[in-house]
């Protein structure tokens, strides 16, 4: 406690002074007079929507803008030393050595042809030298510190062999191994499931506090800010709209925009009415999809063991019903989804759809059924052919329907664009010209094109801005109501489960742990694991610990 | 089942090599079948074709007997395969040497030429591509663009003639374009067939420098013509890798520029390996014009002579050797490709 008090009287660790950044060809600056300071042992949250300039800020702080970007005014001081005056070698030692960046989408940040252990070793030796052997030991040690089980073996794994959460930990280990003074986490937990997100951030923030580092957490999740940060800065269009202690911001933001953001994030949509059950008791009992004792094994390369990705799972789904599968990544949720649409062959078990056994069907017979069973993929950008326009992408599945004339096709594409609320002018756009939310909508439109009876939604709301996420939830709710769609909803976003699903299955290690109506599961979870899962959802209010910490710091400042 | 289990626990590199080596057996069989059919499928009587119009009736009958043309196709193939296994590819009526002897003399000449040419091609192509990506708008970048445009358009014999004109005729730096060593120097005893290596093994520096000197211009000719394609492709692949997220992250981690370039290059290897393999196989026959200009006495020249002379035994031998060579090159390419990218499932 005495340390907290003394640190705040010290000079700030990192200062940004009137920082402005402009990209060639852009009319407006990407950063406009951004000023803030960060002390030792302090966590600053920077919040903003896509395009607000948060990531540019992170790069500008390291003087690492892409080729066409320049710092036009202002300065960044680390320990009272201007980073703009540094030569190449000093900058190289600063990056990763004194100022470490943890980026989004860890899997793409790792060199795909090197083992993760040697990548950490590479970073360590770039800053501290030393023998490979000693560096390897330190890397393995760091991997275990960031919570990787069996670090010896994992260090020898390639990035593609790791899950997203594991890759994120590797990137954190890469940042922490040089003991930097400031850690920048740029949307570091985007796309991770809630339990992992909390673990990863807990780990990150605790390590920073232990070592007395400064940390900047860039995010669009106000729950994270409330739970982990001391100070918060709200960004919009390259400017800091509001900056101040988190407690103060949560109790009463001073600016209209930050108030709007806070309000949008706080909204908890009410669950949908369970129409399927209400219509008539006879209809609801006819299961559209029935999965019994589904098993899927993956062989582990280099051994004779198998991963039991799906381990004896059974469930059924009534017409018009939406079932959510929730669980950590690696629990087998996505594997089940892919088995249902036959992107993976099942090891054992039966899948019955509308009275027909799908598992026994030949690929040719199954093709006929594909029209009725569709899937919305997790990463929309990866799942869309980058060289096709939106109209072609949406039109493609229409080929599965026998009688689709070209006039009909154009009309149907229009309808689908309307259905997913995309403006018609986007029909000629290409995937890279779309925002993440629009890409998700194209993915949904593709799945709906053949008027399916059953759709698998794989993480439809992850990695989206708060306001866009709310829009996608509304869209799916409308579609459910209008089309009477049955859906399997694979997600770790519990908030959206509450507003979309009639029933919830909680999965872990390939098994279903708990199943029940949504309200029941959320109100009174039975299993310990379900409780952990629900607890990982971060409410947008300060925890007791954070409040006390804020008070201590306040006292320190006043002395 | 237990066999599959043994297979799965093998280390990945071993599985890659073993898997490919097993494939070589049926592939080699296929090659023999094709070369066998090459002559059988020609219209008319092979014996007549092989002997030419001036042949007497007895000669034809004797050759038919010798070639086993009166046997069934199956027996003929078995006989041919047996002969090939024993290293008997027949006798060329034009050089009156066994085809094997001719090939053994000429194949190393071509192999030495194209191996060095390939090495230089990789060096020029990859170096120019890498430098022009990491120093955009520099002299090398502009130079490589002009070169990339020109390289596809200039024929190899013309480059060869230009080089001879300047470096031999005008400047007098290069030795005369007549064969693999100076006429006054005795070629080193054959060990590998590569004069550069054999002369060093024999400790004959005189022969070594003579062989290197003779190699300079033809190797340079082939490299100049082929490096352009490799450079253009490497540039595209390397530029993509160099701008990828993981390279940006490495830079944010403070890795040195050298490490970053190496990492990006390591990631662009697979397509480079494929193209190099293709060029290598292609050069075996395509170097013929350069071989002719420099009086190299290589395989390509031999094949062209065989075609012109309707020398079927020689042609058959050449096709067999060329196919086997390309098989080996592609085998190496496949193995390297899978080793270079750990994401490929074996």
Q: Whole-angstrom Cα distance, residue A281 to residue A546?
A: 50
Residues comprising chain A, all counted = 559
Residues of chain A contacting residue B5, judged by C-beta atoms under 8 Å apart: 304
Q: What residue of A is the nearest CA neighbor of B245?
A: A109
Q: Is residue A548 part of a domain?
A: no
Same domain, A365 and A350: yes
Q: Among A46, A20, A35, A15, which residue's Cα sits nearest to residue A182?
A: A15
Q: A1-45: per-residue pLDDT in tens?
A: 344 444 455 788 999 999 999 988 888 888 999 999 999 889 999
Angle at B331 between CA B328 and CA B337, to 5 degrees: 140
Q: Which of B53, B85, B117 is the last residue of a domain?
A: B85
Same domain, A88 and A3: yes
Residues of chain B contacting residue A103, judged by C-beta atoms under 8 Å apart: 245, 249, 252
Average pLDDT over residues A46-53: 85
B229 touches chain A (CB under 8 A): no
Q: Whole-angstrom Cα distance, residue A95 to residue A86?
A: 12
Q: Which of A179, A203, A231 is the last residue of a domain?
A: A179
Q: Is residue A127 part of a domain?
A: yes
Same domain, A484 and A506: yes
Return the structure tokens found at A180. Answer: 């930097």
Residue matched to tokens 């009736």: B57
How high is the mean pLDDT of chain A?
Answer: 84
Q: A384 Cβ partners below 8 Å, 6+ apart?
A: A393, A431, A439, A442, A443
Q: Which of A240, A266, A292 is the last residue of a domain?
A: A266
Same domain, A256 and A272: no
> Distance of alpha carbon A207 from its chain centroid, rounded?
22
Same domain, B68 and B201: no
Among B245, B256, B343, whose Cβ lies nearest the Cβ of A109? Answer: B245
- Cβ pair A122:B340 closer than 8 A: no
pLDDT at A403: 62
Q: Best mutation site among B2, B241, B253 for testing chain A: the one with the most A CBs within 10 Å?
A: B253
Among B250, B255, B342, whose Cβ lies nearest the Cβ of A113? Answer: B342
By DSSP bridging, strand A306-318 and strand A31-38 are unpaired
pLDDT at B296: 87
Between positions 5 and 24 of B, the ones with CB within 8 A of A are: 5, 8-12
Residues of chain B contacting residue A100, judged by C-beta atoms under 8 Å apart: 253
Q: A16 Cβ partners below 8 Å, 6+ apart?
A: A34, A35, A36, A37, A57, A61, A74, A75, A76
- Count of the separate structural domains present in chain A: 4
Q: Is residue A84 part of a domain?
A: yes
Same domain, A136 and A89: no
Q: B204 Cβ partners below 8 Å, 6+ apart?
A: B188
Q: What's the DSSP call for residue A515?
A: E
Domain carrying residue A441: 381-451
Q: What is the largest CA-CA distance in chain A?
A: 79
- Cβ pair A302:B12 closer than 8 A: yes
Q: Is residue A546 part of a domain?
A: no
- Helix or strand run (H / E) with residue A424: none
pLDDT at B44: 65
Q: A149-192: per-residue pLDDT in tens?
A: 889 998 999 998 888 778 888 999 999 899 899 999 988 887 67
Same domain, A368 and A385: no
Domain containing A494 — which CATH number? 3.40.50.300
The least confident of A300-304, A503-507, A523-527, B333-337 is: A300-304
Domain containing B127 — which CATH number? 1.10.3720.10
Same domain, A32 and A88: yes
pLDDT at A274: 47
Buried residues in B60-75 as b, exposed as e (16+ CB within 10 A): beebeeebeeeeeeee
By DSSP bridging, strand A454-458 and strand A503-508 are unpaired
| Cα pseudo-dihedral A501, A527, A227, A167, rounded to 10 | -80
Residues of chain A contacting residue B246, judged by C-beta atoms under 8 Å apart: 108-112
Residues of chain B contacting residue A124, judged by C-beta atoms under 8 Å apart: none
Same domain, A204 and A66: yes
Average pLDDT over residues A272-286: 47
- Cβ pair B251:A105 closer than 8 A: no
- Cβ pair A160:B342 closer than 8 A: yes
Q: A400-445: per-residue pLDDT in tens?
A: 776 656 678 888 888 888 888 888 888 898 988 887 788 888 998 8
Confidence of residue A279 (pLDDT cuts 50, 70, 90): very low
Q: Among A48, A74, A42, A47, which residue's Cα sits nearest to residue A61?
A: A74
Among B8, B266, B267, whose Cβ lies nearest the Cβ of A303? Answer: B8
Among A92, A110, A158, whose Cβ lies nearest the Cβ of B256? Answer: A92
Q: B96 Cβ partners below 8 Å, 6+ apart?
A: none
B190 touches chain A (CB under 8 A): no
Same domain, A306 and A320: yes
Predicted confidence pLDDT, tens digits, chain B (346 residues): 567 777 777 788 888 888 888 888 898 888 888 888 876 776 666 677 667 777 788 888 887 777 677 777 788 888 888 888 888 887 877 778 888 888 888 889 999 999 999 999 999 999 999 999 998 888 999 999 899 888 878 888 888 889 989 998 889 888 888 888 887 788 888 888 888 888 888 888 888 998 999 999 999 999 999 999 999 999 999 999 999 999 999 999 999 999 999 999 999 999 999 999 999 988 887 888 888 888 888 888 888 888 887 777 888 888 888 888 888 898 899 889 888 888 887 6
| Phi/psi-derived region of residue A501, left when phi > 0, alpha when psi is between -120 and 50, beta in every other case | beta
Q: Whole-angstrom Cα distance, residue B158 to residue B174?
A: 17
Residues of chain A contacting residue B346, judged by C-beta atoms under 8 Å apart: 301
Among B9, B248, B250, whose Cβ lies nearest the Cβ of A303? Answer: B9
- Count of the separate structural domains present in chain B: 2
Phi, psi dihedral angles at B160 (to 5 degrees) = -60, -45
Same domain, A386 and A405: yes
Q: A49 Cβ partners below 8 Å, 6+ apart?
A: A220, A236, A261, A465, A466, A467
């Amino acid at each position: 406690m005495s340390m907290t008090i003394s640190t705040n009287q010290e000079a700030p660790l990192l200062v940004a002074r009137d920082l402005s950044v402009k990209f060639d060809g852009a009319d407006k600056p990407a950063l406009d007079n951004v000023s803030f300071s960060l002390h030792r042992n302090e966590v600053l949250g920077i919040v903003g929507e896509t395009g607000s300039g948060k990531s540019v800020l992170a790069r500008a702080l390291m003087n690492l803008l892409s080729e066409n970007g320049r710092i036009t005014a202002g300065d960044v001081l680390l320990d009272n030393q201007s980073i703009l005056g540094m030569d190449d070698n000093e900058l190289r030692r600063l990056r990763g050595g004194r100022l470490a960046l943890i980026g989004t989408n860890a899997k793409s940040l790792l060199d795909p042809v090197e083992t993760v252990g040697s990548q950490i070793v590479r970073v360590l030796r770039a800053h501290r030298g030393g023998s490979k052997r000693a560096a390897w030991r330190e890397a393995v040690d760091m991997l275990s510190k960031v919570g990787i089980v069996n670090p010896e073996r994992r260090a020898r794994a390639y990035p593609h062999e790791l899950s997203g959460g594991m890759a994120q930990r590797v990137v954190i280990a890469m940042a922490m191994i040089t003991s930097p003074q400031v850690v920048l986490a740029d949307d570091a937990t985007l796309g991770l499931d809630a339990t992992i997100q909390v673990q990863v951030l807990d780990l990150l923030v605790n390590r920073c506090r232990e070592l007395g580092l400064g940390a900047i957490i860039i995010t669009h999740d106000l729950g994270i800010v409330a739970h982990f940060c001391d100070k918060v800065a709200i960004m919009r269009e390259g400017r800091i709209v509001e900056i101040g202690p988190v407690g103060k911001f949560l109790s009463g933001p001073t600016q209209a925009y930050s108030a709007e953001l806070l309000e949008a994030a706080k909204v908890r949509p009410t669950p949908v009415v369970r129409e399927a059950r209400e219509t008539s008791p006879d209809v609801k009992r006819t299961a559209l999809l029935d999965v019994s004792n589904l098993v899927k094994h993956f062989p582990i390369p280099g051994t004779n063991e198998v991963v039991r990705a799906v381990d004896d799972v059974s469930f059924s789904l009534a017409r018009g019903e939406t079932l959510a599968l929730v669980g950590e990544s690696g629990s087998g949720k996505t594997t089940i989804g892919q088995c249902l649409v036959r992107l993976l062959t099942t090891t054992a078990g039966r899948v019955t759809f509308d009275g027909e056994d799908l598992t026994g069907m030949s690929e040719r017979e199954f093709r006929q059924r594909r029209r009725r069973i569709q899937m919305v993929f997790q990463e929309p950008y990866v799942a869309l052919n980058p060289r096709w326009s939106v109209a072609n992408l949406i039109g493609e599945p229409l080929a599965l329907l026998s009688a689709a004339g070209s006039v009909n096709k154009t009309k149907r594409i229009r309808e689908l664009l309307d259905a997913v609320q995309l403006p018609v002018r986007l029909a000629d756009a290409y995937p890279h010209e779309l925002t993440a939310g629009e890409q998700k909508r194209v993915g949904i439109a593709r799945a709906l094109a053949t008027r399916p009876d059953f759709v698998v939604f794989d993480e439809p709301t992850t990695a989206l801005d708060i306001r866009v996420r709310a829009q996608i939830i509304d869209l799916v709710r409308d579609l459910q109501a209008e089309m009477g769609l049955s859906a399997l909803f694979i997600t770790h976003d519990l908030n959206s489960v509450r507003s979309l699903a009639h029933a919830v299955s909680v999965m872990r290690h390939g098994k279903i742990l708990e199943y029940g109506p949504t309200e029941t599961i959320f109100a009174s979870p039975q299993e310990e694991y379900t409780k952990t899962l629900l607890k990982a959802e971060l409410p947008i209010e300060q925890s007791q610990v954070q409040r006390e910490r804020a008070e201590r710091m306040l006292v320190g400042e006043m002395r | 089942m237990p066999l599959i289990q043994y297979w799965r626990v093998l280390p990945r590199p071993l599985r890659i090599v073993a898997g490919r080596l097993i494939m070589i057996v049926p592939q080699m069989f296929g090659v023999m079948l094709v070369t066998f059919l090459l002559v059988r499928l020609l219209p008319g009587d092979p014996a007549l074709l092989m002997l030419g119009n001036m042949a007497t009736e007895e000669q034809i009958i004797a050759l038919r007997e010798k070639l086993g043309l009166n046997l069934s196709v199956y027996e003929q193939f078995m006989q041919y395969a047996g002969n090939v296994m024993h290293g008997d590819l027949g006798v060329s009526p034009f050089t009156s040497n066994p085809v094997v002897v001719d090939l053994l003399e000429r194949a190393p000449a071509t192999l030495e030429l194209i191996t060095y040419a390939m090495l230089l091609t990789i060096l020029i192509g990859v170096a120019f591509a890498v430098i022009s990506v990491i120093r955009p708008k520099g002299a090398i970048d502009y130079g490589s663009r002009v070169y990339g445009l020109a390289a596809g358009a200039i024929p190899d014999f013309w480059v060869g003639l230009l080089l001879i004109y300047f470096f031999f005729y005008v400047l007098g730096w290069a030795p005369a374009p007549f064969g693999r060593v100076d006429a006054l120097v005795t070629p080193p005893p054959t060990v590998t067939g590569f004069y550069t290596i054999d002369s060093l093994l024999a400790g004959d520096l005189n022969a070594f420098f003579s062989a290197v000197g003779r190699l300079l211009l033809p190797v340079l000719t082939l490299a100049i013509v082929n490096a352009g394609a490799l450079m253009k492709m490497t540039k595209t692949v390397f530029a993509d890798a160099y701008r990828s997220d993981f390279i940006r992250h490495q830079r944010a981690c403070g890795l040195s520029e050298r490490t970053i370039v190496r990492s990006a290059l390591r990631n662009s290897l697979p397509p480079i390996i494929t193209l190099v393999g293709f060029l290598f196989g292609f050069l075996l026959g395509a170097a013929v014009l350069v071989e002719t200009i420099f009086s190299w006495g290589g395989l390509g020249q031999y094949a062209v002579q065989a075609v012109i002379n309707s020398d079927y035994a020689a042609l058959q031998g050449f096709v067999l050797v060329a196919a086997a060579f390309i098989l080996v090159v592609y085998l190496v390419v496949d193995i390297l490709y899978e080793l270079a990218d750990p994401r490929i499932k074996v």
